[in-house]
Amino acid sequence: MHTKPFHLLVLIVSLGILSSCHSTDADNIAILYKNGYIWTGDSAQPNATIMHTKGGKIEYVGYDMKELKYDSVVDLSGALVVPGFMDNHSHFLSGGYQLESVNLREAKTPNDFIRIMKEYLAGVKDNRWIQGGDWDHEVWGGRLPSKEWIDSISPNNPIFVTRYDGHMALANSVALKMAGIDKNTPVPPGGEIEKNSRTGELTGILRDDAMDLVYAKIPDPSEAELDEMFQRAQAHAIANGLTEVHDMGSYGGWIDMETYQRAEKNGKLNMRIYSVVALRTWDKLADYIKKNGRGDDMLRWGGLKGFVDGSLGSTTALFYKPYLDKRNSNGIWVTDSTLLRNQILSADSAGLQVMVHAIGDKAIDYLLNVYQDAERIAGRKDQRFRVEHAQHLSDSAFAKFAALNVIASVQPYHAIDDGRWAYKRLDKDRLERTYAFNSFLKGGVRMTFGSDWTVAPLSPILGIYAAVTRETLDGKNPGGWFPEQKISVEDALRAYTVNNAYAGFQENKTGMLKAGLYADFVILDKNLITIPPDEIKDVKVVQTTINGKTVYRKEK
């Protein structure tokens, strides 16, 4: 069933685009949305045709408008309305940077890589650091880039461009020299420095914690630059229907949080942000909260992000068995296991929410065991521990997730991306438990969705498409990559809305279209629930509303 095109009809009031979302007395206006296909996310009343909002909150959702009083009417003309999308895991400021930096994701060959870098450098008139990139060597067959590709075109600019997963980067010779890295440099724990197997010379490839040797030499952006990054990221997010992001930080979290606080103070924060800082700074966060509280419903903090391992694409995710294409390795511990355990237990005892990156089966099992110990020690049952990514699971992990009420914070687009080449790394047995969306649901695990932007596009629509179809980007899996793990549109919507609200302790404020909650919602031009799955990727956001105020409307 196809729905009619959406035509927005506002009869009395102009709703204002990109104005501050904090409600005031002037915003205490009643709006009636009628003739819609409203998916509420509320199991007690899953669907409706009418929604009534006032003063930034939802007053009524249902079918009967007889007793409702309103100042304006929006005729939805059958359009789909859903709760505002939330992203469970983004790196928001670096995403804002990447929107204006060199984009190597478009490189399909080594020559493309070199050409794109050369064209970008032609527009750079000083010796600034060049970052960004988002390259994917698997696109051209798996050969890693090397510093020799770019040294001749970058004699003055230090370059440090990451693979799209953020766990591996290429440095040119200028950057290596500035960082003091040569072939005799000791490899930091939790990292790898790639060398030419024949000559022993550096290739320019650094993995995970070895990347910090270069990052330590890159100046932090100025406040003005950070503010610009945020505004770019925010505009991009709300145009994609996002009303909130859980930001895992781009600069350790504290600089990020200060940027959002500055935006809120200046009336330029137009979406909700849960600002997460590095787990190693748990004591600083605990002290900060004692003095400053946890923020408000637009900007809040209290979460901590740590790492167990790396990524599949960089062959640094931690497995019980070695990689098929790197037989001498089963991944790396990015953080020392004893240190990480102590950090988790300490942060949890301080009443902070712990979210830890774990991708390989060994990494995930380790983390679940630590979470189990933390629950036993604390004696609490509502820590809402999160496993960020939770990509490749052991047989026993699903039951343990459910028993501990641990949240699987996954990013569905990775499945249709990694599914092109994951068979090179892992055997079929492990792949069957990779991006196991349906197994999570069947096992009673609370699953949330997001993007890991800029690792994947920020678009929740593309994330839903990935979860529902599992059609890999190379077109080689039209029926879905491991199709038994496909899920329904409504389950995917729930993971982007209801479950994300729970994952951030906000289920009583947002995540559903229900009386008493904030009026955060999205209007789409087609009905995700009724159109053929292959058409989901083409659905467009027509309107994004936060606190009852329209912050984005698609141009006709």
Q: What is the pLDDT of residues 488-508, one digit of tens each?
A: 999 999 999 999 999 999 999
- Residue 24 pLDDT > 50, yes or no? no
Mean pLDDT of 229-234: 98
Mean pLDDT of 42-59: 96
Instruction: Identify the pLDDT of residue 120.
Output: 93
Instruction: Identify the pLDDT of residue 28.
Output: 83
Instruction: Identify the pLDDT of residue 8.
Output: 39
Mean pLDDT of 217-223: 92
- Residue 6 pLDDT > 70, yes or no? no
pLDDT tens digits along 306-350: 999 999 999 999 999 999 999 999 999 999 999 999 999 999 999
Positive or negative, the CA dihedral 368, 373, 379, 383 is negative
Instruction: Identify the pLDDT of residue 556.
Output: 75
Determine phi and psi for 153, rounding to 5 degrees.
Answer: -100, 0
Instruction: Identify the pLDDT of residue 26.
Output: 40
Question: Of 304, 283, 222, nearest to 258 (Cα)?
Answer: 222
pLDDT tens digits along 347-383: 999 999 999 999 999 999 999 999 999 999 998 779 9
Round the average pLDDT of the chain to a whole number and report it. 93
pLDDT tens digits along 251-266: 889 999 999 999 999 9
Instruction: Identify the pLDDT of residue 14.
Output: 31
Mean pLDDT of 501-518: 98
pLDDT tens digits along 71-90: 999 999 999 999 999 999 99
pLDDT over 70, % of the chain: 95
Tell me if residue 277 falls in helix, strand or coil. Answer: strand
- Helices 254-265 and 223-239: crossing angle, nearest 10°? 80
Residue 501's Cα: distance from chain center in Å? Answer: 14
Instruction: Identify the pLDDT of residue 108.
Output: 95
- Residue 19 pLDDT > 50, yes or no? no
Question: Of 356, 334, 332, nearest to 344 (Cα)?
Answer: 356
Task: Give the CATH number of domain 101-215; options: 3.40.50.150, 3.10.310.70, 3.40.50.300, 3.40.50.1000.
Answer: 3.10.310.70
Instruction: Identify the pLDDT of residue 18.
Output: 39
- Residue 21 pLDDT > 80, yes or no? no
Instruction: Identify the pLDDT of residue 216.
Output: 94
Instruction: Identify the pLDDT of residue 27.
Output: 66
Looking at residue 537, its amino acid is K
- Residue 11 pLDDT > 70, yes or no? no
Residues of 378-409 as b/e, b for ≥16 C-beta within 10 angstroms? eeeeebbbbbbbbbbbbeebbebbbebbbbbb
CA 256, 260, 262, 266: dihedral to nearest 10 degrees? 160
- Residue 162 pLDDT > 90, yes or no? yes
- Residue 444 pLDDT > 60, yes or no? yes
Instruction: Identify the pLDDT of residue 342.
Output: 98
**Is the Cβ–Cβ distance between 356 and 369 less than 8 Å?**
no
Label residue 140 by pLDDT band (50, 70, 90): very high
Q: List helix spans (H) across 357-436.
A: 361-378, 397-404, 413-418, 428-431
Mean pLDDT of 88-108: 94
- Residue 23 pLDDT > 50, yes or no? no
What distances in angstroms separate CA 364 from CA 361, 387, 393, 396, 442, one per listed residue? Answer: 5, 7, 7, 11, 19
Q: What are the percentages of helix, strand and coil residues in the chain, rounded to 5?
A: 35, 25, 45
Class of residue 152 by CB neighbours under 10 A (exposed 0-12, middle 13-18, buried 19+): exposed
pLDDT tens digits along 471-480: 999 999 999 9
Determine phi and psi for 383, rounding to 5 degrees.
Answer: -70, -25
Q: Where are the domains of the chain?
A: 1-84+511-556, 101-215
Distance, CA of 211 to CA of 192 (rounded, Å): 8
The CATH superfamily assigned to 1-84+511-556 is Urease, subunit C, domain 1 (2.30.40.10)
Class of residue 123 by CB neighbours under 10 A (exposed 0-12, middle 13-18, buried 19+): exposed
Distance, CA of 213 to CA of 479 (rounded, Å): 44
- Residue 2 pLDDT > 50, yes or no? no
- Residue 279 pLDDT > 70, yes or no? yes
CA 304, 100, 449, 305: dihedral to nearest 10 degrees? -10
Instruction: Identify the pLDDT of residue 485.
Output: 98
